[in-house]
Amino acid sequence: MKTCTKCGQEKQSDLFYRQSRNPSGYSPWCKVCSTAYYSAYREVNRASLLEDKRAYHAANRDKEAGRKRERYRQDSSKKIEQAKRWYAANKPRALENVRRWSVSLAGRAAKRRYYSANRDSVQATIREWKARNPEALRDYFHARRARLKAAGGSHTRLQIAALLLRQNGGCAICKIDITVKRHRDHIVPLAAGGSNDITNIQLLCPPCNLGKRAKDMHTYLRERESA
């Protein structure tokens, strides 16, 4: 047991940082008090600490570069040894991984050669597929856009069909028939942190969706009323 000179509480020794220059071998302050003090100190003196750090880096650039090179060399040696040990213990699995990688690489090369030799027919097939599968194409682009925005959630084509039935085949804003042509709209825009889940999807006619764009529903409806 040891008493913290900061808070005055008696605590277990493992609740103090080790400090070799102290006769007891531990810091006089407990970890909680030390952390709170130095956090407040760093917050108050952030600018001066950053300036000292920059000055140290500028004065010891070569020394730090040498340390980084040595650390990289040591880390590389460790990783090589770890890889050797793993390979010795998992040789069949490693060989299978190499075989799969080789097959995958050869397959990709064969696909590239085929595409180069049959570019026109491949592009024609892709255009035909897009014409026959407009819903699948829309699913792909919606999912891709959500991934690029790092939006959570997802929805399926069946959920979209059920949503169309709930909206009685009409636009969620102007109620015009959208059974033939419709757009999926995020009620809370993806740009504003909205989800790609079906609960954040509504079906709109093209004019309403193009007018709403990335606005929230309240803003867009006020603009429609004022217009």
Per-residue pLDDT tens digits for 169-193: 999 999 999 998 899 999 998 888 8
Domain containing 79: what range? 60-89
Residue 7 sits in the same domain as residue 70:
no
The model's confidence at residue 113, banded by pLDDT at 50, 70 and 90, is very high
Task: Supply the mean pLDDT for the chain.
Answer: 90
Residue 157 sits in the same domain as residue 222:
yes
Cβ atoms of 29 and 4 within 8 Å: the answer is yes
Average pLDDT on 78-101 reads: 92
194 is a domain residue: yes
pTM passes above 0.85: no
Domain end among 89, 108, 131:
89
Residue 156 sits in the same domain as residue 199:
yes
Q: What is the pLDDT of residue 152?
A: 85
Residue 195 sits in the same domain as residue 178:
yes
113 is a domain residue: no
51 is a domain residue: yes
Cβ neighbours of residue 23 under 8 Å, at least 6 residues apart? Answer: none
Residue 48 sits in the same domain as residue 66:
no
CA atoms within 13 A on the CB side of 214: 6
Alpha-carbon dihedral sign for residues 188, 189, 191, 194: positive
Whether 80 shows a pLDDT value over 80: the answer reads yes
24 is a domain residue: yes
Question: Domain tally for the chain?
Answer: 3
Q: What is the pLDDT of residue 46?
A: 86
Cβ atoms of 9 and 30 within 8 Å: the answer is yes
Long-range contacts of 109-114 (CB under 8 A, 24+ apart): none
